[in-house]
Amino acid sequence: MLNNETMHAAVHRYIAALNAGDLEAIVALYAENGSVEDPIGTPPHQGHAAIRAFYAKSLAIKLEVALEGPIRAAANEAAFAFCVRLHWQGQDRVIRPIDVFRFNEAGKITSMRAIFGPENMAAG
């Protein structure tokens, strides 16, 4: 079982990499067979190549990302609320998702699921 410090550190590296637009740092957080379901209910992106392509599209828009509250971690999972500010289609936007990471024993993300819907998106 992972310790919470390892999972907290991975979340902080994820937030920092999103803010820096560092695609390779994000992909490096994932296990080779990891998956991203963002948002939940959409087809997952499986494996490093698909994860890289997904985040490349996201990072094409400059993001400002900040945690909103504490990271919750137990067993091999961590959940965290955060705020994403971006300029898209001529408008400033704010999205407030909760992401859930599942980790393997090596501390790599095996699954990321983003929970948000229209009520979590606004002009900003």
Q: What is the residue extent of each domain of the chain?
A: 4-123
Concerning whether 38 is annotated as a catalytic residue, the answer is yes
Give the model confidence (pLDDT) of 31-89 as tens digits. Answer: 999 999 999 999 999 999 999 999 999 999 999 999 999 999 999 999 999 999 998 88
Q: How many whole angstroms separate alpha carbon 84 and alpha carbon 66?
A: 7
Tokens, residue 22: 């560092």
Question: Residue 115 is encoded by which pair of tokens?
Answer: 């929970």
Q: Quote the distance between the C-alpha of residue 10 and its chain's center.
A: 10
For the segment 103-122, what is each residue's pLDDT rounded down to a tens digit?
A: 999 999 999 999 999 999 99
Q: Is the pLDDT of residue 124 over 90?
A: no
pLDDT reading at 10 higher than 90? yes
55 is an active site residue: no
Report pTM. 0.95
Instruction: Answer whether residue 1 shows pLDDT above 80.
Output: no
Burial of 43 (0-12, 13-18, 19+ CB in 10 A): exposed
**Which position among 14, 30, 55, 99 bears the catalytic label?**
14
Given the residues 30, 38, 55, 99, the one annotated as active site: 38
Which CATH number is associated with domain 4-123? Answer: 3.10.450.50
